[in-house]
Amino acid sequence: MTYCLGILVRQGFILAADSRTNAGVDYVSSYQKLFDFSCPGERVLILCTSGNLSITQAITYQLEQEIRSGTPHNLHTIPSLYDAARYIGKKTRQLQQEDRPWLEKDGIDFQCNFLLAGQIAGAPPELFLIYSQGNCIRATPETPYLQIGETKYGKPILDRTLSYESSLDAIAKSALLSIDSTMRSNLSVGPPIDMISYTVNSLKIQHRLRLEARDPYLLKIRRYWESALKQASEAMPAVEWNRDLNQNGQEPEGNGTDFL
């Protein structure tokens, strides 16, 4: 399993990913899941992967080879980010069609998903989630983040802290807290954590980060967050018990049975 997320705001975007893969309790390893296909000054293209490792590695390898060999239709020549998302989706379908019979024969999950974020000169930044079926959806100001992999543990933090007007610094912190909370609750998600920050119209990645398991900053924000949550919980108003009274201040009539 894995956990990757992208957050798109007015100032730019953040992409972050863990690096753990799990093929059983006795085979846990780390593989890079965040890839940079940018052409600085012309376009920024960042891809995050989750799911079947052989298929996602094959796709990223093909994308790299097409750029290096100068194939006429590649990520550096495709006219829009949407077209790039559809292009990656098409490759996903093709590879799954080739490998699916053999993977299904041995009961191997062939599903995979991608996050694609970037900006092409003359167009606004965009963030897409590309499904295993090859179709895609786009982040919007109303829904500024997208996730793939083990999403449920990190989602509440994003829902409570993000908006389209949030600063890049704020969403970077939210992204790290979201991944760290997921690591705390699910052992199939783990470090190193890779993260990039992109500022709108810069057309180059200026900020990159890799955090290992015992990185001092990762440990610092973890301790700070846990302490802040504990203090906030203790400072909440006391629970108001026995509030089930009717408008006359009397307990409502029951059926003769009380439940605790």
Per-residue pLDDT tens digits for 12-36 = 999 999 998 764 555 567 889 999 9
Q: How far apart are CA 192 and CA 159, in angstroms?
A: 24
Helix (H, G, I), strand (E, B) or coil at 259: coil
Q: How far apart are CA 61 and CA 47, in angstroms?
A: 12
Side-chain-side CA neighbours of residue 173 (13 Å): 12
Q: How far apart are CA 251 and CA 228, in angstroms?
A: 38
DSSP assignment of 138-183, as one string?
Answer: E--SSS-EEEEES-TTTHHHHHHH--TT--HHHHHHHHHHHHHHHH
Query: What pLDDT does residue 102 have?
Result: 79
Residue 248, pLDDT above cutoff 80 = no
Residue 163, pLDDT above cutoff 90 = yes
Q: Are 80 and 86 in contact (CB under 8 A)?
A: no
Going by C-alpha positions, the residue among 5, 46, 1 that lies closest to residue 147 is 5
Q: How far apart are CA 50 and CA 114, in angstroms?
A: 6
Query: What pLDDT does residue 219 have?
Result: 94
Query: What pLDDT does residue 251 have?
Result: 57
At residue 217 the predicted structure's pLDDT band, cuts being 50, 70 and 90, is: very high
Tell me which H or E stretch contains 149: strand 145-149
Higher pLDDT, 20 or 196: 196
Q: Are 5 and 179 in contact (CB under 8 A)?
A: yes
* Tokens 């610092």, located at residue: 220
DSSP assignment of 181-217, as one string?
Answer: HHHHH-TTS-SPEEEEEEETT--S--EEEEE-TT-HH
How are the residues of the chain apportioned to helix, strand and coil, as percentages rounded to the nearest 5? 35, 25, 40
48-98 pLDDT tens trace: 999 888 899 999 999 999 999 999 999 999 999 999 999 999 999 998 888
Residues linked to residue 30 through DSSP beta bridges, in sequence order = 20
Query: What pLDDT does residue 27 have?
Result: 55
Query: What pLDDT does residue 158 have?
Result: 96
> What are the structural domains of the chain?
3-231 (3.60.20.10)
Q: How far apart are CA 185 and CA 212, in angstroms?
A: 18
